[in-house]
Amino acid sequence: MVKTGNLNYNYFANSFSDRGAVKKINQDKICLRKNSVENGEALLAVVCGGMGGMARGDVAANTVVREFSIWFRNHIEEVNAEPRKIMKEWTEIIDELNDRIWGYGKQKGIRLGTTLTAMVMLPDGRYYTANIGNNRLYHMVGNEIRQENEQPSGEKGKKNKIYMGCSELVTPIFADGSIHTGDSILLCTDGFGCMHRKKTGKKLMEESYEKDDDIRKKLEEVIREMTKSGAKDNISAILVKVN
């Protein structure tokens, strides 16, 4: 449970990841951290999907997760006081990581890359997100579920699928919002997003939870069912539920 410093609500958060029914390894990497700041506790959630079929996609995903975790530990106090720094600092991190992964691939003669969805939530309920690739971030307000990070359409109506480390330049999609009592936020890789079919996602987000571990158990139950049903991709999700 993470209590806020300024508002009269609390929220629970947890995660689960599985390699699915087909893949031999899990190239997804996830990170869920909280840290005390001046007016309460902040939360960081990161979901990265190493590129299926590309060599060392798990290395790319793990590199991104690790660097965002380091940023959160070292800079959350500073950005909590001045949130407008978040997008600037995240842009710098993403550019540096993209250069590093792209350069590593060129040096080794391999293709590797990763998707990214990151969210930081501050104690007053404001959140900021960055997205690259085909992960999903859903925010449920009342009975309405909206996707916060939908990729823009490219030429001929195709989705613009640019992944970190797969090209010299990458452009994240940034968004921000506020979370309130009764809201839920779900971050997930494409494996979960393709399988969950809004009905399952809505049920997950509507449910009540009494502790963090309740969320983990429910995510594990749902993802294990996906695996039994023959899910071909790695499946990962993080759920935040506000009470």
Predicted confidence (pLDDT) per residue in 206-220, tens digit = 888 999 999 999 999
DSSP H helical ranges for the chain: 57-81, 85-108, 190-206, 212-228
Domain boundaries 2-242, corresponding CATH code? 3.60.40.10
Highest-confidence range of 37-41, 54-58, 90-94, 172-176, by mean pLDDT?
A: 90-94
Average pLDDT over residues 175-190: 91
Q: Residue range 11-20: average pLDDT?
A: 89
Across residues 5-25, what is the average pLDDT?
77
Spans of all domains in the chain: 2-242
pLDDT of 154 higher than 60: no
Q: What is the pLDDT of residues 58-75, one digit of tens each?
A: 889 999 999 999 999 999
Question: Model confidence at 227, in pLDDT bands (50, 70, 90)?
Answer: confident
Computed over every residue of the chain, the mean pLDDT equals 85
DSSP secondary structure of 132-162:
ESS-EEEEEETTEEEES-PPPB-GGG-B---
pTM of the predicted structure, to 2 decimals: 0.89
8 Å CB contact between 18 and 27 = no
Phi/psi at 155 (5° precision)? -60, 145
